[in-house]
């Protein structure tokens, strides 16, 4: 491999990881935008998506079906379960304390994260679980860089989901209501916008993106574990902050950037220190632009 | 009666009330002193770690409870204290009592250093900077294998030794109860100092910053300076906790200082009631022993633990001792 | 009388909006200046620029006998120079009692450091005693002595206003900026407030008073400054300003026409 090919390969790997981060980061950023809550349980929702896919594939028994059908079953199950989970989390844990201080909501989110993580362990087992290889292991050589079918799927679906989200938020009535709620929740209440429903939909949409992220993560890395959600979730949250939390294009850019930094740092510097580089870049970016790359330039409410 | 003299008579009621609560504290302390005689070794072990949590919660209370800075990397301060004493002990053969002050100093200075980004970064963005710092420290201790022993841990950290009249040099060894008493003493000292600080000019300024940073600044309160002071003090307390932890364990590994620890200590502070000193201690004792109390539920215990955090936040959002009533009780009578 | 505050060609922009446009104003020691103008005229922005809350886009602020520049100072440094303020929408410390709010305001007048506070050394104890008495005196002055131990934010709105003034007084300022202390008060409360402001002036304190309602400012002010659309459109004794055609136009042009007529 020439140095250039090596670089391109790292870039491809980084984009894959980054696309997954971005999908999860969107959930953090959407929820934060609407209710200013760091939804700590979001990483667990992502993992729940991966587990739902595993179980759906096992139960439905898709061995004979074409891989597209199998993938459809996996993604469908993950999205349905996660959307329901996102709705339930908001309805049962966060809505009752929406008036309380933000620190309370944060602790509730941590409690929810612990609860879900352990629920996943009880349901899915404490050890690593093989993710079914439903997508054929096709690979192509493009100018010296190996690209797998799974990677193409990751890129394609991430791009499609982000485009769909952008359309939802910018071009529909629902999206308009979401943006209005993010601006001023009280004013929306006064104007008769069904704020509760908008918030619930935001949680469900974010959770669905995380569900897709969970399936893609399982496909790409082959094994899943109940506590992966915490680590990946934390990275995705970092990505959301990097881009400017509450900002949708920011979450996408932050996710891709973080994936690239980790991949390049692992490839050229040291795999052990890659997270240090990721967090180091975060700190430097925030010192340079205190509200993230795409953040508003106003002082954050502390 | 002029208002000034009525303020003074209020002060006297405050004194008599604080005398009452001081008596309660003494009674609790005597009870706590007697516990190791009644309980078995395992329970003492659990209580000792709960007391180390209490020390951490008291330190974090200075930062989050008093100044309102959301700190998500507090475990790093604890780690820095633990590794500072651990390395002084392993490589320098420093005795525990000599190792504690530098451990506190290094952790305190790190606390201040971590506060520097606050010059520009605020709110939740600052919280994520502290989170990142916590992770960087943990990964650094994992990867700097030649000094820290890496994931296998730093081995052979010295236990404290104490010269006792009649018994000669007493080594704390591996039994829990000497550490129980040592930690209890530290918790009492730090709690006592915290209460006094909270009733002082500095304590009021901190609370003012937490309640309304801009109004505080316009009263002439140097917001950033006092936040850094709180972070330095909080760091030093974590350093003390870390040194005790390292001395007690004899071996420390980086995964004892993960993000979950930061989050747990934060939960203890919030559960106790932001800014409440006794709340921080009680929150630590409850959350520190709850997983053990739930041990009967076996693998469901962490599930129940998470659930109880959600329920407590819903039923009592201000924590055990939070809200204004408590503060009035503490301050003005 | 010597000049205490000099605002020189102060301009502040928010994006394309010019909130303050080349404002020049000087305030003499012991003077009570009424600052009036329609909503959005830039009155609060002017306070924010003087107190270091907002950096001005251009221009400067000089303060005190030495004409020290306040430019680039942080809010707490401006306060150290002797400028205190209240806020339009009360910003009391919610977890502190009424008395403690005032004691927190006395931060600059107390000096206990970390060790003397943590160890309760005699000097810290004495100082605490002093601060308590001082705060109680100030509360008596604003008529809140009966409510010292209550939760500050549980006070009725009008009393919160007075607590804000007591808190600002606790720093013993030489210049006091009052941001619409009369807003939201009923006529009786407004009268009491005016008496209080009159007493402050009697003590030699220099005051700038923002007020929406002309009838409130006119009787107490030595001079009135009218701000409209970020510009000073009139300065002078109350009676003259009242008759100034530009002022009448500014007020008639806004929804506060009835205020001007009073």
Give me the residue label for tokens 């060894």.
B173
Contacts (Cβ under 8 Å, ≥6 apart) of B93: B158
Nearest to A286 among B125, B309, B317 (CB): B125
In a domain, B6, yes or no: no
CB under 8 Å to B36, separation ≥6 — which residues? B44, B176, B177, B180, B181
Residue of chain B whose alpha carbon sits nearest to that of A299: B122
Burial of C245 (C-beta count, 10 Å sphere; 0-12/13-18/19+): exposed
Residue A50 lies in a domain: yes
- Which of B136, B266, B306 faces A280 most closely, judged by CB atoms? B136
C121 in contact with chain B, both atoms CB, cutoff 8 A: no
Contact C95 B210 (CB under 8 A): yes
Interface chains of chain C (3 or more CB pairs under 8 Å) = B
The answer to whether residue A60 scores a pLDDT higher than 50 is yes
Q: Answer whether residue B285 shows pLDDT above 70.
A: yes
Contact B221, C170 (CB under 8 A): no
| Nearest residue of A to residue B302, measured between CA atoms | A118
Interface check B309 vs A, CB under 8 A: yes
C79 and B CB contact within 8 Å: yes
Give the closest of B11, B223, B327 to C132, CB-based.
B11
Q: Which of chain B's residues have a Cβ under 8 Å away from the Cβ of C160?
A: none
For residue A287, give the nearest of B129, C54, B124, B230 by alpha carbon: B129
Question: Can you state the angle between helices B223-249 and B74-92, rounded to 10 degrees?
Answer: 50
For A118, the domain range is 27-137+150-226
A229-248 mean pLDDT: 90
Could you tell me if residue B245 is inside a domain?
A: yes
Chain A residues 80-99 with CB within 8 Å of chain B: 93, 96-97
How far apart are alpha carbons C180 and C165 in whole angstroms? Answer: 11
- B297 at A interface, C-beta within 8 A: no
Q: 3-state class of C83 per DSSP?
A: strand
For chain B positions 161-200, those within 8 Å of chain C (CB to CB) are 193, 196-197, 199-200
Q: Does B271 touch chain A (CB under 8 A)?
A: yes
Please tell me the CATH code under which domain C1-82+175-262 is placed: 3.40.50.300
Q: Answer yes or no: is pLDDT of A302 > 70.
A: no
What's the pLDDT at B16?
65
Residue with more model confidence, A282 or B237: B237
Task: Give domain status of residue A129, yes or no.
Answer: yes
The confidence score (pLDDT) of residue A254 equals 95
Q: State pTM to two decimals.
A: 0.88
> Has residue A25 got a pLDDT over 70?
yes
**B332 near C CB under 8 A:** yes
Between A1 and B189, name the one with better pLDDT: B189
* Whether residue A56 has pLDDT greater than 60: yes
Q: Which has the higher per-residue pLDDT, C257 or B50?
A: B50
**Partner B, chain A 267-286, Cβ-Cβ below 8 Å:** 270, 272-273, 275-276, 279-280, 282-283, 286
Predicted pLDDT of residue B327? 43
CA B330 from chain centre, in angstroms, equals 20
Task: Please name the residues in contact with A250: beta carbons below 8 A apart, sequence gap of 6 or more.
Answer: A29, A240, A242, A243, A244, A292, A293, A294, A295
From residue A113, how far is each of A38, A41, A44, A80, C262 by CA, in Å?
11, 4, 6, 19, 62
Residues A79-115: pLDDT tens digits? 999 999 999 999 999 999 888 888 888 889 989 999 9
B325: confidence class by pLDDT, cuts 50, 70, 90: very low
| Model confidence pLDDT, tens digit, residues A259-289 | 999 999 998 888 889 889 888 998 889 888 8
Q: Among B34-43, B267-276, B306-315, which stretch is predicted with the lowest mean pLDDT? A: B34-43
Contacts of A122 in chain B (CB under 8 A): 299-300, 303
Beta bridge partners of A114: none
Judged by CB atoms closer than 8 Å, whether chains meet at C168 and B219 is answered as yes
**Residue B107 sits at the chain A interface (C-beta within 8 Å):** no
User: Across the interface, which of A104, A115, A302 has its CB nearest the CB of B122?
Assistant: A302
Pick from C145, C198, C157: which is nearest to C34 by CA?
C198
Mean pLDDT of chain B: 88
Nearest beta carbon to residue B270 from set A93, A107, A113: A107
Sign of CA dihedral B87, B88, B90, B96: negative
Q: Is residue A73 part of a domain?
A: yes
- pLDDT confidence band for A36 (50 / 70 / 90): confident
Q: Do C103 and B204 touch (CB under 8 A)?
A: yes
The stretch A33-38 carries a mean pLDDT of: 88
Q: What is the ipTM of this complex?
A: 0.91
Instruction: For chains A and B, tell me whether 3 or more CB atom pairs sit within 8 A of each other.
Output: yes
> CB-based contact (8 Å) between C55 and chain B?
no
> Above 60 in pLDDT, residue B241?
yes
Interchain contact, C149 vs B222, CB within 8 Å: no
Q: Residue A31: is its pLDDT beyond 70?
A: yes
Q: pLDDT digits over A169-202, tens only?
A: 889 999 999 888 888 888 888 888 899 999 999 9
Q: What three-state secondary structure class fits C48?
A: helix
Q: What is the pLDDT of residue A64?
A: 73
Assess whether pLDDT exceeds 60 at residue B1: no
Interface contact A286-B143, CB threshold 8 A: no
Q: What is the DSSP string of B35-68?
A: HHHHS-HHHHHHHHHHHHHHHHHHHHIIIIIII-
- Interface membership of C120 toward B (CB under 8 Å): yes
Q: Which residues are bridge partners to C151 per DSSP?
A: C97
Say yes or no: B258 contacts chain A, CB-CB below 8 A.
no
Report the pLDDT value the prediction gives residue C212, as an integer from 0 to 100: 78
8 Å CB contact of B303 and A241: no
What is the average pLDDT across B46-56?
A: 96
Q: What is the pLDDT of residue A212?
A: 96
Contact B128 A113 (CB under 8 A): no
% of chain B exceeding 70 in pLDDT: 91
Number of domains in chain A: 1
The reply to whether B12 touches chain C by the CB within 8 Å rule is no
Give the whole-angstrom CA distance, residue B137 versus residue B142.
9
Asked if the model's pLDDT at residue A75 lies above 90, the reply is yes
- Residue whose tokens read 């502290």: B130
CA distance A248 to A227: 26
Please report whether residue A9 resides in a domain.
no
- Residues of B with Cβ-Cβ distance to A113 under 8 angstroms: 306
Instruction: Tell me the CA end-to-end span of chain B in Å, nearest whole number.
Output: 18
> Residue C210: helix, strand or coil by DSSP?
strand
Indicate the residue of C79, C112, C154 with minimum beta-carbon distance to B201. Answer: C112
What's the pLDDT score for residue C251? 73
Among chain C residues, the shortest Cα distance to B276 is held by C95
CATH of residue B139's domain is 1.10.3470
For residue B326, what are the domain limits? Answer: 16-330
In a domain, A272, yes or no: no
Q: Do A119 and B303 touch (CB under 8 A)?
A: yes
Does the pLDDT at position B290 exceed 90?
no
Identify the burial level of C143 via C-beta atoms within 10 angstroms of its C-beta, where 0-12 means exposed, 13-18 middle and 19 or more buried.
Answer: middle
Asked if the Cβ–Cβ distance from A272 to B139 is below 8 Å, we say yes
* Region B280-292 average pLDDT: 91
Residue A260 lies in a domain: no
Optimal mutation site among A32, A88, A97, A118, interface B, most CBs of chain B within 10 A? A118
**pLDDT score for B15:** 60
| Facing B229 at nearest CB: one of C79, C114, C148 | C114
Q: Where are the domains of chain C?
A: 1-82+175-262, 96-172
SS3 C176: strand
CA–CA dist A170, A181 (Å, integer): 14
At residue B62 the predicted structure's pLDDT band, cuts being 50, 70 and 90, is very high
Mean pLDDT of chain A: 89
Residue B282: pLDDT band by 50, 70, 90 thresholds? very high
């Amino acid at each position: 491999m020439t140095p250039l090919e090596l670089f391109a390969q790292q870039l491809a790997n980084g984009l894959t990881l980054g696309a997954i981060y971005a999908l999860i980061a969107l959930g953090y950023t959407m929820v934060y935008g609407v209710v200013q809550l760091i939804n700590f349980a979001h990483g667990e929702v992502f993992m729940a998506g991966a587990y739902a896919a595993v179980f759906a594939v096992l139960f439905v028994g898709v061995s004979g079906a074409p891989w597209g059908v199998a993938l459809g079953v996996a993604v469908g199950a993950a999205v349905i379960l996660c959307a329901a989970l996102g709705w339930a989390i908001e309805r049962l844990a966060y809505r009752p304390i929406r008036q309380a201080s933000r620190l309370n909501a944060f602790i509730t989110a941590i409690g929810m994260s612990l609860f879900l993580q352990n629920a996943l362990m009880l349901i899915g087992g404490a050890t690593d679980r093989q993710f079914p290889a439903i997508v054929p292991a096709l690979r192509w050589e493009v100018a010296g860089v190996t690209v797998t079918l799974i990677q193409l799927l990751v890129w394609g679906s991430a791009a499609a989901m982000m485009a769909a989200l952008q359309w939802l938020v910018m071009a529909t009535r629902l999206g308009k209501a979401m943006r209005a709620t993010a601006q001023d929740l009280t004013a929306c209440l006064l104007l008769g916008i069904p704020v509760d429903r908008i918030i619930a939909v935001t949680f469900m949409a974010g959770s669905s993106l995380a569900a897709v992220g969970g399936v893609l993560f399982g496909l790409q890395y082959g094994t899943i574990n109940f506590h992966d959600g915490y680590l990946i979730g934390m990275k995705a949250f970092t990505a959301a902050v990097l881009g400017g939390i509450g900002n949708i294009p920011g979450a996408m850019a932050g996710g891709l950037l973080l994936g690239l930094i980790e991949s390049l740092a692992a490839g050229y510097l040291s795999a052990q220190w890659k997270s240090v580089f990721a967090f180091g870049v975060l700190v430097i970016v925030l010192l340079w632009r205190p509200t993230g790359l795409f953040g508003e330039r106003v002082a954050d409410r502390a | 009666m002029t208002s000034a003299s009525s303020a003074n008579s209020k002060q006297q009621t405050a004194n008599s009330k604080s005398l009452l609560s001081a008596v309660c504290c003494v009674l609790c302390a005597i009870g706590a002193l007697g516990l190791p005689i009644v309980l078995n070794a395992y329970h003492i072990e659990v209580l000792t770690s709960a007391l180390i949590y209490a020390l951490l919660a008291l330190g974090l209370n200075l930062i989050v409870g008093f100044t309102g800075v959301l700190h998500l990397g507090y475990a790093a301060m604890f780690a820095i204290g633990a590794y500072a004493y651990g390395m002084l002990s392993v490589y320098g053969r420093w005795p525990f009592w000599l190792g504690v002050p530098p451990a506190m100093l290094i952790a305190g200075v790190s606390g201040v250093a971590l506060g520097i980004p606050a010059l520009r970064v605020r709110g939740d963005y600052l919280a994520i900077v502290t989170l990142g710092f916590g992770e960087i420290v943990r990964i650094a201790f994992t990867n700097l294998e030649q000094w820290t022993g890496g994931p296998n841990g730093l081995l052979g950290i010295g236990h404290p030794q104490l010269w006792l009249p009649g018994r000669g040099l007493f080594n704390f060894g591996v039994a829990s109860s000497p550490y129980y008493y040592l930690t209890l003493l530290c918790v009492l000292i730090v709690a006592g100092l915290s209460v006094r600080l909270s009733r002082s000019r500095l304590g009021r300024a901190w609370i003012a910053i937490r309640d309304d940073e801009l109004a505080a600044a316009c009263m002439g309160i140097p917001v950033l300076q006092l936040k850094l002071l709180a972070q330095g003090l909080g760091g030093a307390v974590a350093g003390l906790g870390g040194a005790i932890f390292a001395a007690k364990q004899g071996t420390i590994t980086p995964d004892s200082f993960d993000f979950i620890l930061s989050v747990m200590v934060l939960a203890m502070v919030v559960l106790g009631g932001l800014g409440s000193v006794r709340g921080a201690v009680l929150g630590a004792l409850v959350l520190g022993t709850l997983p053990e109390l739930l041990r009967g539920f076996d693998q469901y215990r962490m599930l129940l633990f998470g659930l109880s955090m959600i329920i407590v936040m819903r039923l009592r959002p201000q924590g055990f001792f939070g809200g204004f009533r408590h503060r009035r009780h503490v301050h003005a009578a | 009388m010597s000049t205490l505050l000099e605002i020189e060609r102060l301009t502040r922009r928010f994006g394309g909006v010019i909130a303050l446009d080349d404002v020049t104003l000087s305030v003499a020691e012991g003077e009570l200046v009424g600052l009036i103008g329609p909503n959005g005229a830039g009155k609060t922005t002017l306070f924010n620029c003087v107190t270091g809350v907002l950096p001005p886009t251009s221009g400067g602020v000089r303060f005190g006998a030495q004409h020290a520049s306040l430019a680039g100072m942080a809010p707490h440094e401006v306060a150290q120079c002797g400028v205190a303020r209240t806020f339009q929408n009360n910003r009391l410390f919610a977890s502190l009692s009424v008395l403690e709010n005032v004691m927190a305001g006395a931060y600059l007048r107390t000096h206990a450091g970390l060790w003397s506070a943590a160890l309760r050394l005699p000097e810290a104890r004495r100082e605490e005693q002093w601060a308590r008495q001082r705060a109680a005196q100030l509360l008596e002055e604003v008529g809140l002595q009966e409510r010292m131990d209550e939760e500050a934010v549980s006070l009725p709105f009008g009393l919160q206003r007075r607590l804000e003034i007591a808190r600002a007084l606790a720093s013993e300022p030489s210049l006091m900026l009052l941001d619409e202390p009369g807003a939201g008060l009923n006529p009786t409360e407004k009268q009491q407030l005016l008496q209080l402001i009159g007493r402050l002036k009697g003590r030699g304190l220099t005051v700038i008073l923002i007020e929406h309602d002309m009838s409130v400012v006119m009787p107490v002010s030595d001079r009135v400054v009218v701000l409209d659309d970020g510009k000073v459109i009139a300065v002078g004794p109350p009676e003259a300003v009242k008759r100034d055609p530009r002022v009448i136009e500014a007020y008639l042009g806004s929804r506060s026409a009835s205020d001007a007529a009073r």
